[in-house]
Amino acid sequence: MKEDIKIKKKKYNDTYYNKNKDRVLEKLKVKIYCKYCDKNINKSSYTRHCNSNMHSKNKSKNWDLDLPADNS
């Protein structure tokens, strides 16, 4: 009985993946621009990038990018 639910669940997940494969893959390809590093980062690894040493180094180096643009 328990196995049955597991199989059903797996089947459901497979169907979901196949149905949304293109969308899921498209999402993975999305890049986010990091202004501190002047780099395009994969959306899927952006969180990891923000936690990286290189990023925090660049962020402290380019802290002025955080200042609001002077429109006066």
* HEC per residue, 4-37: HHHHHHHHHHHHHHHHHHHHHHHHHHCEEEECCC
Single out the residue of 7, 32, 38, 55 in contact with Zn ion (rule: CB under 5 A).
55
Stretch that binds Zn ion, among 1-9, 12-20, 32-40, 62-70 (CB under 5 A): 32-40
Single out the residue of 19, 24, 37, 64 in contact with Zn ion (rule: CB under 5 A).
37
Single out the residue of 7, 32, 34, 63 in contact with Zn ion (rule: CB under 5 A).
34
What CA–CA distance (Å, rounded) separates 41 from 28? 11
Residues of the shown chain interacting with Zn ion in the complex, contacts defined by CB under 5 A: 34, 36-37, 55
